[in-house]
Amino acid sequence: MAKVLIIGAGGVGNVVARKCAQVSEVFSEIILASRTQFKCDRVAAAIDKPITTAQVDADDVGQMVALINKHNPDLVLNVALPYQDLPIMDACLETGVDYLDTANYEPIDEAKFEYRWQWDYRDSFEDAGIMALLGSGFDPGVTNVFCAYAQKHYFDEIHHIDIVDCNAGDHGHPFATNFNPEINIREITQKGKYWQDGQWIEIDPMSVSMDIDFPEVGIRKGYLLYHEEEESLVQNITGLKRIRFWMTFGAAYINHLQVLQNVGMTRIDPVEFEGKQIVPLQFLKAVLPDPGSLGTNYTGKTCIGCIFNGVKDGQQKNMMIYNVCDHAEAFKETGAQAVSYTTGVPAMIGAKMMLTGQWKKPGVWNMEQFDPDPFMQALNQHGLGWKILEGKTLKQ
């Protein structure tokens, strides 16, 4: 029995709160906090379990410290913006409370994300006797655990990993992003990058693509991006020679994005408008549909997984571990579309692993550094069942 403080009440925060409420034997008390308390109240009103709500500016370490001291949680579960990871970690250090997030830190003034800033907390968290679990979403998160599971049970060495992420759903809008528009657009408009033969290779944004056959979904065009789980997996997977990350986008999405880039609406530097400084991308976020509102008429499925090539008992081996999630089913259970669902469920499971002591060690850790078996079992129990497809390959 434990108390958890959830920071963030968007689409993912809604799923995390609902899924924590379903596991009352672990999460005996839930506090949900956000910059706008009415969002927390709205989530709490939809859940058949008492949930305490609060207002907090997660950029303000002092406010976070005061909130933590008021409620004394066993764990702070951060599903706010990546810009706020470090202030929340600072507050956890000051109060001696464990920490979990779903995406790594990103500075607000540069479209760049890497684990370096959070890995710098390793010694201080270990010295304080508290734990930080980084990237407990789906990708990063479940994809890291898939890699650890494959390494533990199916390979002596994994030589190639392709992480593939397909959203084959239809939300009915001409252009919308499935998670925070500002973060989504920053992620895909920066340079792509992959790791091969001991070095990082950089490419122009969205310049490399291929058709990928996704189980239960079909063939979709995937674009080579950089994604943060690659950075930790290159350190923790034995024999790795190459790792790539692919995400699908439809033609309409790409066309809209190119137009927005061409007219300057994806800029993250301030411009002057009617005597005020505004950031074009933040304005664009304000006029685009809220990702948390997309689930109502969403149809179709997501398919996210890892395709592995390596060696077992001296023989070449290929396989894929993946999950398929249905938008309509996710909405029926949680009032959220599948992208929020596939991020929120693993966040709850990661918190469960920590609070039950199955994953517990002072310091700052990535998902693949723990025993994958209990997490994989929990995925099947909590709505994200996974499958293995033997012999699956991708272009080399």
pLDDT above 80 (res 262): no
Could you give the CA distance from residue 231 to residue 323 in angstroms, rounded to a whole number? 22
The answer for residues whose C-beta is within 8 angstroms of residue 275's C-beta and 6 or more apart is: none
Could you give the CA distance from residue 15 to residue 5 in angstroms, rounded to a whole number? 14
Q: What is the pLDDT of residues 32-86, one digit of tens each?
A: 999 999 999 999 999 999 999 999 999 999 999 999 999 999 999 999 988 899 9
* DSSP structural state of residue 175: S
Query: What local confidence, expressed as pLDDT, does residue 331 receive?
Result: 93
341, 389, 338: which is closest to 214 by C-alpha?
Answer: 389
305, 144, 163: which is closest to 242 by C-alpha?
Answer: 163
Domain 142-335 class? alpha beta
Query: What local confidence, expressed as pLDDT, does residue 124 receive?
Result: 98
* Range scoring the smallest mean pLDDT among 124-133, 203-212, 296-305, 358-367: 296-305
Could you give the CA distance from residue 248 to residue 48 in angstroms, rounded to a whole number? 36
Give the number of other CB atoms < 10 A from CB of residue 193. Answer: 17
Q: What angle do CA 54, 74, 121 make, to 5 degrees?
A: 95
In this prediction, residues 321-329 reach a mean pLDDT of: 96
Please give the residue that has the higher pLDDT: either 265 or 329. 329
Give the number of other CB atoms < 10 A from CB of residue 264. Answer: 11
Please give the residue that has the higher pLDDT: either 363 or 187. 363
pLDDT above 90 (res 111): no
Query: What local confidence, expressed as pLDDT, does residue 181 receive?
Result: 62
Look over the chain and give the mean of its residue pLDDT values, rounded to a whole number.
90
371, 363, 367, 329: which is closest to 142 by C-alpha?
Answer: 367
Query: What local confidence, expressed as pLDDT, does residue 85 receive?
Result: 97
In this prediction, residues 105-111 reach a mean pLDDT of: 73
Let me know: does 358 contact 374? Beta carbons within 8 Å.
Answer: yes
Q: What is the pLDDT of residues 332-371, one digit of tens each?
A: 999 999 999 999 999 999 999 999 999 999 999 999 999 9
Query: What local confidence, expressed as pLDDT, does residue 271 receive?
Result: 78
In this prediction, residues 107-132 reach a mean pLDDT of: 89
Which CATH number applies to 2-134?
A: 3.40.50.720
5, 9, 96, 95: which is closest to 340 by C-alpha?
Answer: 9
Percent above pLDDT 70 for the chain? 87
Query: What local confidence, expressed as pLDDT, does residue 183 receive?
Result: 65
Let me know: does 200 contact 316? Beta carbons within 8 Å.
Answer: no
Q: What is the pLDDT of residues 209-260, one digit of tens each?
A: 999 999 999 999 999 999 999 999 999 999 999 999 999 986 667 666 666 7
Could you give the CA distance from residue 60 to residue 196 in angstroms, rounded to a whole number? 40
Domain with CATH 3.40.50.720 in the chain: 2-134
pLDDT above 60 (res 301): yes
- What angle do the packed helices 251-262 and 181-189 form, to 10 degrees? 90
Split at pLDDT 50, 70, 90, the class of 294 is low
pLDDT above 90 (res 148): yes
Query: Which ranges of 32-166 does DSSP label H, i.e. alpha helix?
Result: 37-45, 61-71, 85-95, 116-119, 122-128, 142-153
Query: What local confidence, expressed as pLDDT, does residue 27 receive?
Result: 98
Split at pLDDT 50, 70, 90, the class of 283 is confident
Give the number of other CB atoms < 10 A from CB of residue 396. Answer: 8
Query: What local confidence, expressed as pLDDT, does residue 35 receive?
Result: 95
Could you give the CA distance from residue 342 to residue 15 in angstroms, rounded to a whole number? 9
24, 22, 42: which is closest to 32 by C-alpha?
Answer: 42
Long-range pairs for 46-50 at CB < 8 Å and ≥24 separation?
46/14, 46/18, 46/335, 47/17, 47/18, 47/21, 48/21, 49/21, 49/24
Could you give the CA distance from residue 163 to residue 384 in angstroms, rounded to a whole number? 17
CA–centroid distance for 329 within its chain: 20
Could you give the CA distance from residue 15 to residue 30 in angstroms, rounded to a whole number? 13
Predicted TM-score of the model (pTM): 0.92
Beta-bridge partner residues of 133: 100, 365
Give the number of other CB atoms < 10 A from CB of residue 38. Answer: 11
Both tokens assigned to 158: 């994994």
* Range scoring the smallest mean pLDDT among 289-298, 303-312, 361-370, 372-381: 289-298
Could you give the CA distance from residue 188 to residue 287 in angstroms, rounded to a whole number? 19
Domain with CATH 3.30.360.10 in the chain: 142-335
